[in-house]
Amino acid sequence: MAEVCDQVTNLKRFKKIPIYVVEEHNDALQFIYSAIGGKKLPLEGTTLLHLDAHPDMLIDRKLKGEEARSGRHVLPLLQIENWIVPAAAAGHISRIVWLRPPWASQFRDDTRSIHVGDHPTSGELRVDCKEPYYLSDALYCSQLVNKRKFIFTSAELSDSSLAEDENNIQKLITNLDITQPYVLDIDLDFFSTGNPFLGLYGNINVYDRLQPIFEFKLPDNNDSETIDKVVELRERQLEELERLFQHLERCDNLDEYQGERTQLYHMVAELAAAIVEEAERLNEKPDWWAVFAGGCTRDQGGLPYHISTEEEIQNLVKKALVPLLKNIPPPVLITIARSTDDGYCPPHQVDYIQNLVLETLKEMYDTDDPALYYLNVNTTEL
């Protein structure tokens, strides 16, 4: 603890608070790592204040723990849904505060300690959290090596929850207890949230038909032995689904599939035949990767979806974001993700939301002109 305090005391300061605007949210992490390298953030102990309609706290199931701890080498291995926990595994982020809009509920609102580390056999990165978010992706492991603890808080941030009541604002601020140094991270889909998979072959209701194929049923018993067995079965299910869709990607059907003809095989084969027929009608090749990705979001019912009105967006900024930021210290740096190319922030609203958020931040803080990093073609290198 004393070492972390020394790191904080010896930090350098930006002359003005930098703002980095990216398209894909995982691209924000490189700026956090650069700030660590420049001694603007400590090597360990940073808080991430994360406003988003999605937690982004999954883990790539094939990511090794040693890769997560490899500094900037991990950056090209990350995607939008799994960029935060590897930074916690490396010790750079010790606390994550996910502030969600009212229509997102992937985690229960609470504060909990989570350990992240390596699976003792495979070396793949895993957590010891038993919540559905991790169980459904087979990311739980009761025995971890090279483990680290981080604190995770989930809470709702909305104009109605804060309203104009000073007591509500102070209660939230007290519960969150945001202290420096921290990074303010905002996904613009917090203010209006699309679901890119809803329209996937909509005429044949593919998104709904994926539910029984990818569905995950929570165990009745919460003891570690039971959970370990359930996770092992879930991992086999996900691996089988991945093999089936890889075969579809190559062949567009499962006729020559060499694996066992399980119930899952027959369910996927039936859906695949319908997709091929619909794709032919549309005169296009089936997008099996999109279907598989959509299925992976159906394990716990699906993704949040709420297209906000302009008034709702304004209220979230003026009556939720502003009261929050007024009552906590300024961040070291700010990252903003547009998340519109992948369909999570509605394209017809993203520029309006971005301008409103940037204007608000400029009014509140002494900020640099925003670095519009998404305008660069190559967003994987600084």
CATH of the domain at 180: 3.40.800
382 confidence band (pLDDT: 50, 70, 90): very low
1 confidence band (pLDDT: 50, 70, 90): low
pLDDT for position 112: 98
Dihedral (CA of 373, 379, 380, 382) sign? negative
Looking at the fold, whether 47 and 117 belong to one and the same domain comes out as yes
18 touches 382 (CB < 8 A): no
61 touches 92 (CB < 8 A): no
Looking at the fold, whether 229 and 162 belong to one and the same domain comes out as no
Looking at the fold, whether 174 and 229 belong to one and the same domain comes out as no
Tell me the per-residue pLDDT of 115-135, one tens digit each, with 9 for 90 and over.
999 999 999 999 999 999 999
Looking at the fold, whether 159 and 225 belong to one and the same domain comes out as no
222 confidence band (pLDDT: 50, 70, 90): confident
Looking at the fold, whether 82 and 145 belong to one and the same domain comes out as yes
For the chain, what percent of residues have pLDDT higher than 70?
Answer: 95
Give the structural domain span for 43. 2-195+307-375
Asked whether residue 380 is domain-assigned, the answer is no
Looking at the fold, whether 176 and 60 belong to one and the same domain comes out as yes
pLDDT for position 161: 60
Residues 98-107: what's their mean pLDDT? 96
Looking at the fold, whether 37 and 159 belong to one and the same domain comes out as yes
Tell me the per-residue pLDDT of 274-319, one tens digit each, with 9 for 90 and over.
999 999 999 999 999 999 999 999 987 789 999 999 999 999 999 9
Which of these three, 267, 296, 325, is where a domain ends? Answer: 296
Distance CA 256, CA 38 (A): 54
Asked if residue 142 has pLDDT above 80, the reply is yes
pLDDT for position 268: 98
Residues 20-36: what's their mean pLDDT? 98
Which of these three, 268, 296, 324, is where a domain ends? Answer: 296
Asked if residue 372 has pLDDT above 80, the reply is yes
Asked whether residue 361 is domain-assigned, the answer is yes
Looking at the fold, whether 124 and 166 belong to one and the same domain comes out as yes
Asked whether residue 382 is domain-assigned, the answer is no
Ranking 29-33, 165-169, 316-320, 370-374 by mean pLDDT, the lowest is 165-169
In sequence order, what DSSP letters do the residues of 171-184 get, joined into one string?
HHHHHH---SSEEE
pLDDT for position 163: 59
Asked if residue 71 has pLDDT above 60, the reply is yes
Rounded to 5°, the CA angle 73-84-60 comes to: 70
Looking at the fold, whether 265 and 367 belong to one and the same domain comes out as no
Looking at the fold, whether 160 and 256 belong to one and the same domain comes out as no
Residue with tokens 């605007």: 21
* Mean pLDDT over each residue of the chain, to the nearest integer: 93
Distance CA 235, CA 120 (A): 16
Q: How many independent structural domains does the chain possess?
A: 2
Residues 181-205: what's their mean pLDDT? 97
Asked if residue 379 has pLDDT above 70, the reply is no
Amino acid identity for residue 150 in this structure: F
Where do runs of H (alpha helix) occur along the chain? 2-9, 29-37, 65-68, 85-89, 132-135, 159-162, 166-176, 206-214, 224-251, 263-281, 288-296, 310-316, 322-326, 350-364
pLDDT for position 5: 57
Distance CA 212, CA 13 (A): 52
327 touches 178 (CB < 8 A): no
Distance CA 155, CA 98 (A): 6
Asked whether residue 302 is domain-assigned, the answer is no
Distance CA 133, CA 52 (A): 16
Looking at the fold, whether 35 and 143 belong to one and the same domain comes out as yes
Which of these three, 244, 264, 296, is where a domain ends? Answer: 296
Asked whether residue 301 is domain-assigned, the answer is no
Looking at the fold, whether 336 and 288 belong to one and the same domain comes out as no
Distance CA 162, CA 167 (A): 8
Asked if residue 377 has pLDDT above 80, the reply is no
* Residue ranges with strand state E in 79-220: 93-100, 110-118, 125-127, 145-156, 182-187
Asked whether residue 188 is domain-assigned, the answer is yes
Tell me the per-residue pLDDT of 229-279, one tens digit each, with 9 for 90 and over.
999 999 999 999 999 999 999 999 999 999 999 999 999 999 999 999 999
pLDDT for position 166: 67
Asked if residue 81 has pLDDT above 80, the reply is yes
Distance CA 59, CA 12 (A): 32
pLDDT for position 376: 84
Amino acid identity for residue 123 in this structure: G
pLDDT for position 327: 93
7 confidence band (pLDDT: 50, 70, 90): low
| Whole-structure pTM value | 0.93
Higher pLDDT, 31 or 167: 31
Asked if residue 32 has pLDDT above 90, the reply is yes
Asked whether residue 253 is domain-assigned, the answer is yes
For the chain, what percent of residues have pLDDT higher than 90?
Answer: 87
- Residue 214, classified by CB atoms within 10 Å of its CB into exposed (0-12), middle (13-18) or buried (19+), is buried
Ranking 62-66, 83-87, 218-222, 368-372 by mean pLDDT, the lowest is 218-222
Asked if residue 89 has pLDDT above 50, the reply is yes
